[in-house]
Chains A and B, each alone.
Chain A
Amino acid sequence: MKILVAVKRVIDYNVKVRVKADLTDVELANTKMGLNPFCEIAVEEAIRLKEKGVATEVVVVSIGNKASQEQLRTALALGADRGILIETEQVVDSLSVAKLLQAVVLEEKPELVILGKQSIDSDNGQTGQMLAALAGMPQATFASELTIADGQAIVVREVDGGLQTLELNLPAVVTTDLRLNEPRYASLPNIMKAKRKPLDVKTPEALGVDLKCYLKVIKVEPPTERQSGIVVESIGELVTKLKNEAKVIG
């Protein structure tokens, strides 16, 4: 079984983002970048399926500028077999990403596509569902457990009230939640090996996808800061303040 994993280059999750002075975006210049954490979980899950003998090949795909090759190499170092970069300098929104991935799905014919549930930059959480809709595949979002058996994917999902289990026909789309697994670290020999793994570069034009901008960002601003309050001396004083000053308890 072939697994396709989509990954995204984002600002490293440890970096505190700052809004640019002209309020057009957050500061990206000279900012440490990394693999989106949810994508890393997706890569790890695919590799584990390969180690179990369920998957035969793990293909990673990313959409972005040339620098996104770094994240593909990271995924290859973790154990993916080959990479595809759809290279563009444009900012691509979720629906266009889904259309590009759909074009890759048509070429690669994977039986399972795994994506992160959202990227930690735009926080949209849309791509997997959109791809599933375009590809006519069933979907399971927010997965915390994934089992492949008898040509089906059994997925435990994290939903608001607890957990939900679904059974999907393959091919299917699964998006990862945090508890699905703990990604490994790439070893030095594997990082070296990853440099020699195949990495194809394609263009949106070659895939026949027009990168339409569906949603325009007209302003990015910092959130309103919360003023810090006071430190009280005792629990007794706290309760008094909550009753008489804040008036939030009776």
Chain B
Amino acid sequence: MTILVIAEHDNVELKPVTLNVIQAATEVAKVTGKEIEVLVAGFDCRAVADQAVKANGIGKVLLVDDEAYSSQLAESMSSLIIKIAAKYSHILAPASTSGKNFMPRVAALLDVAQISEIISVESENTFKRPIYAGNAIATVQSGDTKKVMTVRGTAFNPVDSNEHSIVEIVGVETPDVEKNTGSRHVADELVSTDRPELTSARVVISGGRGMANGDNFKLLDGIADKLGAAVGASRAAVDAGFVSNDMQVGQTGKIVAPELYIAVGISGAIQHLAGMKDSKVIVAINKDEDAPIFSVADYGVVIDLFEALPLFEQEL
């Protein structure tokens, strides 16, 4: 039996979170002695497979290049994965909106449990995962022969890349996969940015309701540029309409764990803390000294953010 990792990509680029999932798979491999294979399923996505082979610790990259997978819809992805599932004991995907979309289908079609968002590998069949928005950690044990799970990327370090990889790409033909006729992709409205992705950025600077409006988020840009940071927001800022939802950090948004997280004008509601409290160093800038964010911050400054931000940019 082998371990399968489903690569996250947009047909052009392998998303960095895939490397974190491969690390989780590596930990399973350590206790089972099994080999890891990576599935790249998409359309015109050879370039992604070329990037995937560089990941350390994998044995093979499977490439399924077919128009049916161009948008990686849940129906198509799950049909494909169950078709090739026989030889795998563990099937892992990132706990991204994509992985969360198709993996439960895979599990249901295989008649096994799906284990959501694991944060540690305890043994071949035992894993830890957060419940109640991270206010408790459950250790769960699967009695199924196949473990289908999603992985919280921030809980695992990415595996290294090997430029001189000799891992081969194996094309997989899937003529007998059931065609998805029930759903059609209409449009993507993706927010383009030159900044790093929130979930893989080394530094994240986020604004909260204290930013007062969307325009003021520009004050974070200069600092983000200097630090090479991604810009995030609290749910309060998103709900107030300051910025779009793809910037949301928190239980209902993205889970981040950068080396440095800077919370600006964020009070620190539980739901926000759930999304960033595993960051290595947390900085809080807030004028309310009683804000709960200070209880998790390594460094806090009690100061009006409109005074603080220009100073901060200047000091860098």
Contact = CB atoms under 8 A, between A and B. Distances in A.
A129 B102 contact: yes
A219 interface: yes
Contact of B203 (A142, A216, A248): A248
B301 interface: yes
A229 B139 contact: no
A124 B116 contact: yes
Contacts of B270: 16
13 contacts: A94-B104, A126-B107, A129-B103, A129-B105, A131-B108, A138-B182, A158-B246, A163-B189, A165-B189, A166-B73, A215-B140, A222-B137, A248-B259
B131 A216 contact: no
A125 B109 CA distance: 16
Interface string B224-246: 00010000000000000000111
Contacts of A142: 97, 101
A164 B116 contact: no
Given A123-B117, A219-B139, A248-B259, A160 B186 contact: no
Contact of A141 (B101, B108, B301): B101
Interface in A155-190: 157-169, 172, 177-179
Contact of B281 (A160, A166, A172, A246): A246
A241 B10 CA distance: 39
Contacts, number: 244
Nearest to A157: B97
Chain A interface size range? 35 or more
A236 interface: yes
B281 A242 contact: yes
Contacts of A17: 132, 135-136
B113 A93 contact: yes
B115 to A, nearest CB: 7
A215 to B, nearest CB: 4
Interface of A: 11, 16-17, 19, 26, 93-95, 98, 120-134, 137-142, 144, 154, 157-169, 172, 177-179, 213-223, 226, 228-236, 238-239, 241-242, 246, 248-249
A177 B162 CA distance: 39
B295 interface: yes
B316 interface: yes
A216 B107 CA distance: 16
B44 interface: no
Contact of B312 (A134, A141, A221, A239): A239
Contacts of A98: 108
A161 to B, nearest CB: 4
Interface stretch (B25-33, B54-62, B141-149, B212-220): B141-149
Given A218-B140, A235-B315, A154 B260 contact: no
Contacts of B132: 11, 17, 26, 120-121, 123
A248 B281 contact: yes
B46 interface: no
A160 B198 CA distance: 10
B126 to A, nearest CB: 7
Given A130-B105, A157-B97, A214-B143, 15 more contacts: A19-B136, A93-B113, A123-B117, A127-B104, A129-B105, A139-B101, A161-B188, A165-B187, A165-B189, A166-B183, A217-B138, A221-B137, A236-B315, A248-B259, A249-B316
